[in-house]
Amino acid sequence: MFFLIDHNIEGQSKRLWGTIQDEGWLDLVKIRFVTFEEVQLPIESSDRIVWCFAQEYKMIILTANRKMKGRDSLEEIIRSENTVNSLPVITIENVDRMNERVYREQCAARIIDIMIDLENLIGVGRIYIP
């Protein structure tokens, strides 16, 4: 499963990826983090474009974005476009804590839990971690 990393958290996601690797989670599930650049998605893309892109290419968005204002805010898009077949958006509750090893470990474990139970989480919209 591909995780599309929001361009605003690329640095934090590298640390999270390192924790996932170090904890041996990749032996349990197959996941890959990809950046906007890797998938040739402009960083100035609207939340609507990012969400639609991720859904079309079967990617889970990993973000810290909680924007709720405006027609093209991520929250509004989830509320209006989400279907029973949509992949969830995973939102890091406190991205500023990604420097803390324990917090990263909690986030990594929660991502693995989500992957293991993904078939039951399709259509939920958004999941906050840890």
**85: how many CB neighbours lie within 10 A of its CB?**
8
Q: Tell me if 16 sits within 8 A of 5, measured CB to CB.
A: no
Starting at the edge strand found earlier in the chain, the sheet holding 2-5 runs 32-35, 2-5, 59-63, 89-92, 126-129
pLDDT at 72: 82
pLDDT digits (tens, 9 = 90+) for 39-79: 999 999 999 999 999 999 999 999 998 877 788 899 999 99
- The answer, yes or no, to whether the previous bond of 130 is cis (omega within 30 of 0) is yes
The DSSP secondary-structure symbol of 99 reads: G
Say what the pTM is. 0.95
Domain boundaries defined on the chain: 2-129
Right CATH for 2-129 from 3.30.43, 1.10.3470, 2.40.128, 3.40.50? 3.40.50
> Which amino acid, residue 11?
G
